[in-house]
Amino acid sequence: MADEVSKIVDRDGKHMLVCLVDGIPFPVFTGIRERLKKIKSWTPRADDIFLFAYPSSGTHWLWEVVGMLLRGKAERIKVEKEHYMLECSDPETLEKLESPRILNSHIYKEQVPTSILQNNKIVLISRNPKDIAVSWYNHNVADLETDYEGKFSAFYELYRVGNVPNGDWFEYNTVWWKWSRDRENVLWVTYEEAKRDLPSLVEKMAVFLEVSSTPELCQSISDSCSFQKMKQDKHNLIPCELRENMSFYRKGHVGDWKNWFTVAQNEDYDRIFKEKMKDCDLPVEFTI
């Protein structure tokens, strides 16, 4: 049975197609409701590694880094990470993947099986929400499934209150952050630190994952996972007929929000951020 599709309508009457799961508006992935229902009772393998993040936080990027670290060489998997994504693959499909599996998702902490939270290594990724607003807008206006044709100013009005695909940035990150504090099976990283010094972050991830590494390997992985190299290599995996309208890599800049936000939007978001984050010390870098 097909999932019921809902519409989020912006102030100009432009819509975004979503599928509500547990009250959260997710992108329209066929079968997502039943899939996430199955995932709740799914048992992971002991060596599964999970990456969780709000969309446009750098999941594609760091998924590649983890894969290279586990293989001990700077060679890319010739498969898109969506094959390893909980929203996109049924448990039966996941069972066919070889270990160690690097699984990823944008689902909320409450939707994740307790066994994963307690036993598996988890990498949590965050990025400053202003840059995410810009990146997520550009992703959704290019997404045929979302079918959105609105302007950024109208998208911002929805984003600021969490009424966009994948819901509210504040709710997503504050819940994960408060839960993750002092847990030995969790590593929290940020998009900004990866942009600032990727080799150092690769080394830190190697220590967390308990895999051997050398400065040469960390540098080689960093070179292979540079934004432009990732964009070119991964773009080539997309079928030719879809390449013009589909890419998970746009600019990858830190601070691009300054080219999109008006002064009024920036002041508005700063006010919202101060209120929403008053009881949460999640580190967020708006400039770098």
In a domain, 109, yes or no: yes
- Render pLDDT for 2-27 as a digit per residue (tens, 0 to 9): 578 999 999 999 999 999 999 999 99
% of the chain residues with pLDDT over 70: 91
Domain limits for position 93: 38-276
- Render pLDDT for 213-226 as a digit per residue (tens, 0 to 9): 999 999 999 999 98
Identify the pLDDT of residue 243. Answer: 39
Rounded average pLDDT over 200-209: 98
Angle at 10 between CA 60 and CA 257, to 5 degrees: 45
Q: Answer whether the bond into residue 100 is a cis peptide, omega within 30°.
A: yes
In a domain, 19, yes or no: no
In a domain, 6, yes or no: no
In a domain, 153, yes or no: yes
Sign of CA dihedral 34, 39, 41, 42: positive
Does the global pTM surpass 0.85?
A: yes
Tally of domains in the chain? 1
In a domain, 9, yes or no: no
- Render pLDDT for 132-187 as a digit per residue (tens, 0 to 9): 999 999 999 988 889 999 999 999 999 999 999 999 999 999 999 999 998 999 99
Cα 2–chain centre separation: 25
Residues classed as catalytic: 106
In a domain, 29, yes or no: no
Backbone φ and ψ for 8, nearest 5 degrees, come out as -100, 125
Rounded average pLDDT over 56-60: 94
Nearest to 253 by CA among 192, 190, 173, 189: 192
In a domain, 144, yes or no: yes
Strands (E), 36-185: 49-53, 102-105, 121-126
Identify the pLDDT of residue 79. Answer: 74
Domain containing 134 — which CATH number? 3.40.50.300
| pLDDT over 80 at 254, yes or no | yes
Rounded average pLDDT over 101-129: 96
In a domain, 201, yes or no: yes
| pLDDT over 80 at 257, yes or no | yes
d(Cα 48, Cα 62) in Å, to the nearest integer?
15
